[in-house]
Every structure is written in C-alpha cells, then in structure tokens.
Chains A and B, each alone.
Chain A
Amino acid sequence: MYRTVVNRILLSGGSRRLPKYPDIRTVISSSRFSTTTQPQTVLNPSGSSTSSSSSTNFQTSSAAGDVPRHERNNPRAEYEGEQARVLQASLRHVIRLGWSEEAMIAGAKEVGISPSIVGSFPRKEAALVEFFMDDCLQRLIDRIDSGEELQNLTPSQRIYKLVRIRLEMQAPYISKWSQALSIQAHPLNVSTSFKQRAMLIDEIWHAAGDETYDLDWYVKRTVLGGIYSTTEIYMLTDSSPEFRDTWLFLDNRVKDAFDLKKTIQEAKYLAEAVGAGMGSSLQVFVGRVLQR
C-alpha cells in the first residue's frame, strides 16, 4: 500500500494527482524538528502544495541517497500514508459494518495500528467515504489513461461507457451505498462531496473529448451531473442481474441528453428563421402603415 501511494505521487505528476482533503488547524508536522530528515517547508493547508512539497522531499531524499524506502525518510507523509492504509483496509469491512467508525476501527486493527487513529480523522465516516470517492476517481483516471477502450466511440457512447465503469466500482458496496449518500449530503460534508463529484464529471467530459470553454461548459457539466446522479440512485433499487436495468436506464438518459441538444439546436434555427421571416413582413407592414 505504501508503494502504490508513493508511486502515484512520483509517477502521476502534479496535474493528475488528486488533492487530498486538507488539514485544518494543523500547526506543525514533526519533521521540522527532527534531525534525521530533510528540512521541510511549513505546512500549508492547501491540498496541492501537500503533494508538491512531498514530491520535492522525495527528490531531495533520493538525491541524498540515504534510505531505499522513501516513506521512511518523510515522516510527514507517513501519518497520511498510515491513514490511507487504515482507510483502504476499512473499505473491506464496509460491506459488513457500513460506512461507520466500527468499520474504521476494524480496518485499523487489521493493519496493526491502534484504533485510536480513527479519532484523528476530522469527520470520521465522511473521511472514509471521501477516500473511497477519491480512490474510484483515481482508478477511473487510470483506466482512461490506459485508454484503448474509448478510441472508436462517439462522444455519447464514451460518456455511457465512462459512467458505467465508474458506477460499477460502487457495485460491491451497493447495499450500504445509501448510507454513503446520506453521509455525503450532511451539511458538514456537502462541500467536499460536491467538489469530488464536480471533478468526476469534469474528468468524464474531458475524456469524452469536450473542448468548449464558454457558457456551454456549465450546461454540459450540469446535464452530465444530472445523468450520473439519477443513475446512481436508480442503481440503489435495481435488483436485476448485473444491474442490467441500470445500464439501460443510463443509455436512455444519455440518448435523451444528446437528443435534447439536437432539439435545442433545431429549435434555435427555427426561431431564427421565423424571426427573420416575421421581421421582413413586419417591416413591410409598418412601412405601409407609416406611408398612409
């Protein structure tokens, strides 16, 4: 688990690395005063500098050529690494125990760390759900990057495929997913879950080949957000084998959205044509009236 965390930081680079949930009110991390590690910048609460500072540390530590394992040289990443390990292990208990402290306690015990660490997560169950969402997004990005599957598809087919891949990651947890949704809807957690979903939607559109930068961007995100959320909720009550009904539902929604786009286009042309026609006859009429 260390290795995968380390690999992601090293290999995926700044733009693709997801910012972690930031530490509010953290004053100090230990390595500032430790003699064995490289000197570090003062902790910055923003997520992106977390990843950049830890990646510079990896570079300096490998330059110094000290220790083969990068984690040992960077105690600041260590506690976050440990927290990530605990959360990863906790996911295996979610099916039985739900998205709860009990699952996190069981996860901590599995990893061999005192369950007291659960108290250090600012919003406990929400931390677990958010970790899962980040993890799924990262896996989706990996699949997109390894990307043969999307080559020959039209945008609407790509969107269908991507949303399906993402929702299938939730399938094992579907029995407890409504609990996760309610945790995400909690006022304290809404802003983080909204941000995560926004990133997810953005990623999917990006992979589907969207290059627009105007007002259309918001419309597209909103529409896809709607498709994703409704399909997610439909999946909660779907008992068909391998969620066949859900995929059918998704397919129909995607088609509707693309048809809607064409319909709006056509409606616009029609309105213009009518307007042009009306405008010229109106001019003639007004002319006649004034001439009298």
Chain B
Amino acid sequence: MALRLLTRNLRNRISPNLCSASLLHSHATSFGFKEVREEEKSQMVGKVFSNVASNYDLMNDFMSAGLHRLWKDRLVSKLTPFPGMKHLDVAGGTGDVAFRILESINSIRRRALQDPINDDLQEETRIYVCDINQNMLNVGKNRALERGLGEDKSLVWVQGDAEALSFEDNSMDGYTIAFGIRNVTHIEKVLTEAYRVLKRGGRFLCLELSHVEIPVFKELYDLYSFSVIPRLGEVVAGDRESYQYLVESIRRFPPQEKFASMIADAGFQKVEYENLVGGVVAIHSGLKI
C-alpha cells in the first residue's frame, strides 16, 4: 500500500516516457502516452473503437501487410480446439479468432464423421464472443452472416466488460484475447477474471503487440509505427488520433517477461510466450490447474 502511494507521488514528477509498467496499478492510467483518470480511459477507448469499427479489418490488413491473419492462425493452432468446447474470445469484436476456431472444429468433425459421439458433442460447442463495444459486435455479426455462419448456434455474441465477466466460474475450456488486453484499464483484473471462468485444464492465450529488442529492427519498427501508421489512419480511416493512440499504447504495454509474470500472479501455471516477427507480436499462454 505504501509502495503504491510512493509510486503515485513519484509518477507525478517523472515524465510519462520513463514510467514503468507497474504504475498501471495506480488510480490514474495511461491512454497512449497521455495520463488519464481510470474512469476516462474506458470511455476514451470506447470512442476509439466506435470510430474504427467499420474500417477495423481493413486497417489491420494495411498496417500489418496482411500478417495479422497468420498471427491469428497461429493463435488458434496453439489453442487446439475440439468439438464440444466452450470457448470465450474476449475483445474479439469483429470475430476473426472466433471464426477460425469454429472452422477448425468443424473440419475436425468432418474428418471424424464416422464417430457418433462427436456429432452430439458438436452440438454442444459454444464460442462466446465478448466485447465491450456494441459497434464492433455488430460488425462481427454482419461478417458472420457473410460467411454463412449466421444460423450457427455455436456462435454467441455477448456484450460485456473483460474486467467483470458475466460468465460462471469454471465454465470455459479456453480463453483468448487478441489485441485487446492493451486497451483495458486494469490488466490484473482481466487476468483474474480469465482465471475465474476457466475450467481446470483450461488454457489462457493472449495475442498482443509487444516489444521488439533486436537492435536495428527496433529502430525500423519505431519509425514505421510513429511515422507511417498514424498517416495511414488519416488517409484510409480519416482518423489520425485513434491510430496515434494505438501505437502509443503498444509502447506503454508491459514487455513480454513482465506480462508473463503478471499472468503467473493471477494463478496460471506453465506460463510461456512466443515472439512472432522478432517481438512485434507475442503470444502468451497459461494453464489453469
């Protein structure tokens, strides 16, 4: 407690760029490189995503040169979905990860068509897509219709807050959060909630933009982030501010090791991370036992 007060006092004197990630514990939080009050952060994030919702997928393709699809494929393959699974995808608004999981399960099922048990199980598969922003969910529902998954009762769209989930304890086999945890106000609360809703043996997987340490590549990446991306946002989506927020929030997010220790603090075991593209993106995973 005393440590928190101390850090809060110190923080007011130290410039934002030198703040360490542990300061996210205090009652003011970061919105990119700006310091804002906690209550404001979720509103501001909400505005960002309402603004970007319609162009979200297009901008993802532009910014990552299409790589985000591969990253999400890798996330789902690490998950190893199975028929009858109850899965929760948080901050999964437009449904990318959820669609991939569903398709993976359906293809397993087609392969095992001769096994009658699996057919019944297939009926029980549920993939919950939870997002705090209704605009993103709406975009996701439309995309589901386009892909022919509109009638599929395995997909359930739920509006909710990652820090206070409406699901029961020990009810989920898997939990994923892709490019979402950067935007929450209290990372630890999200991790604790994730631990709560997972069953024994359930896995937590987080795909997030992370820190690059490789010398030359780091400079190039910084250049790309701060010069190209906001400009791209301005031109394609007409919204420079939101994309400025995006690149700043990546820098403020804890580095891989620190985030891994936060996951372990929440109670997960076998916490590992895998860097993709030299650390531009990292997939953290944990097991609940």
A positions within 8 Å CB-CB of B: 23, 25-30, 32-33, 75-76, 78-79, 82, 86, 101-102, 105, 108, 112-120, 124
**A-B contact list, 16 entries, CB within 8 Å:** A27-B257, A27-B261, A27-B264, A28-B260, A30-B268, A82-B289, A101-B82, A113-B199, A115-B85, A115-B201, A116-B79, A117-B287, A118-B80, A119-B174, A119-B203, A120-B270
User: Are A117 and B203 touching (Cβ within 8 A)?
Assistant: yes
User: Are A116 and B271 touching (Cβ within 8 A)?
Assistant: no
User: Are B203 and A120 touching (Cβ within 8 A)?
Assistant: yes
Cβ of B36 under 8 Å from chain A: no
User: Are A32 and B202 touching (Cβ within 8 A)?
Assistant: no
- Tell which of A75, A101, A102, A112 touches B269, judged by Cβ atoms closer than 8 Å: A75
Which residues 242-274 of B have a CB within 8 angstroms of A?
A: 257, 260-261, 264-265, 267-274
- Most chain B CB atoms below 10 A, which of A27, A79, A102: A27
Q: How far is the CA of A30 from the CA of B202 in the complex (A)?
A: 15
User: Are B289 and A75 touching (Cβ within 8 A)?
Assistant: yes
- Tell which of B173, B264, B285 touches A30, judged by Cβ atoms closer than 8 Å: B264
User: Are B270 and A33 touching (Cβ within 8 A)?
Assistant: no
Q: Distance (Å) between the CB of A81 and the closest chain B CB?
A: 9
Q: Distance (Å) between the CB of A249 and the closest chain B CB?
A: 36
User: Are B201 and A117 touching (Cβ within 8 A)?
Assistant: yes
In the complex, chain A residues whose CB is within 8 Å of the CB of B34: none
User: Are B80 and A101 touching (Cβ within 8 A)?
Assistant: yes
User: Are A116 and B80 touching (Cβ within 8 A)?
Assistant: yes
CB 8 Å contact bits of B208-240 with A (1 = contact, 0 = none): 000000000000000000000000000000000
Cβ of B74 under 8 Å from chain A: no
Known contacts A82-B289, A116-B85; A29 and B269 CB within 8 A of each other: yes
Q: How far is the CA of A101 from the CA of B112 in the complex (A)?
A: 12
Known contacts A29-B264, A79-B287, A124-B80; A116 and B202 CB within 8 A of each other: yes
Q: How far is the CA of A217 from the CA of B146 in the complex (A)?
A: 67
Task: Give the B interface residue count (CB, 8 A).
Answer: 30
User: Are A79 and B289 touching (Cβ within 8 A)?
Assistant: yes
Q: How far is the CA of A92 from the CA of B78 in the complex (A)?
A: 25
Q: Distance (Å) between the CB of B274 and the closest chain A CB?
A: 7
Q: Distance (Å) between the CB of B111 and the closest chain A CB?
A: 10
Cβ of B4 under 8 Å from chain A: no
User: Are B269 and A119 touching (Cβ within 8 A)?
Assistant: no
Cβ of B200 under 8 Å from chain A: yes
Q: Distance (Å) between the CB of A99 and the closest chain B CB?
A: 16
Q: Distance (Å) between the CB of B205 and the closest chain A CB?
A: 9
User: Are B271 and A120 touching (Cβ within 8 A)?
Assistant: no
Having A29-B269, A33-B261, A101-B82, one finds 16 other A-B pairs with CB under 8 Å, namely A25-B272, A26-B272, A27-B261, A27-B271, A30-B267, A30-B268, A30-B269, A75-B289, A78-B289, A82-B201, A114-B202, A115-B173, A119-B78, A119-B174, A119-B203, A120-B287
Please provide the 10 A-B residue pairs with the shortest distance between their CB atoms, ordered closest to farther.
A119-B80, A113-B201, A114-B201, A117-B201, A114-B199, A27-B260, A28-B264, A79-B269, A116-B173, A114-B173
Q: How far is the CA of A118 from the CA of B198 in the complex (A)?
A: 15
Closest to A124 in B: B80
Q: How far is the CA of A180 from the CA of B280 in the complex (A)?
A: 38
Q: How far is the CA of A86 from the CA of B264 in the complex (A)?
A: 22
Q: Distance (Å) between the CB of A274 and the closest chain B CB?
A: 64
Q: How far is the CA of A76 from the CA of B201 in the complex (A)?
A: 14
Closest to B86 in A: A114
Closest to B203 in A: A116
Q: Distance (Å) between the CB of B262 and the closest chain A CB?
A: 10
Q: Distance (Å) between the CB of B175 and the closest chain A CB?
A: 9
Q: How far is the CA of A86 from the CA of B261 in the complex (A)?
A: 26
Known contacts A28-B260, A115-B201; A79 and B173 CB within 8 A of each other: no
Q: Distance (Å) between the CB of A35 and the closest chain B CB?
A: 11
Q: How far is the CA of A101 from the CA of B79 in the complex (A)?
A: 13
Q: How far is the CA of A119 from the CA of B174 in the complex (A)?
A: 10
Closest to A105 in B: B82
In the complex, chain B residues whose CB is within 8 Å of the CB of A102: 112
User: Are B82 and A118 touching (Cβ within 8 A)?
Assistant: yes
Q: Distance (Å) between the CB of B153 and the closest chain A CB?
A: 21
- Most chain A CB atoms below 10 A, which of B173, B257, B264, B270: B270
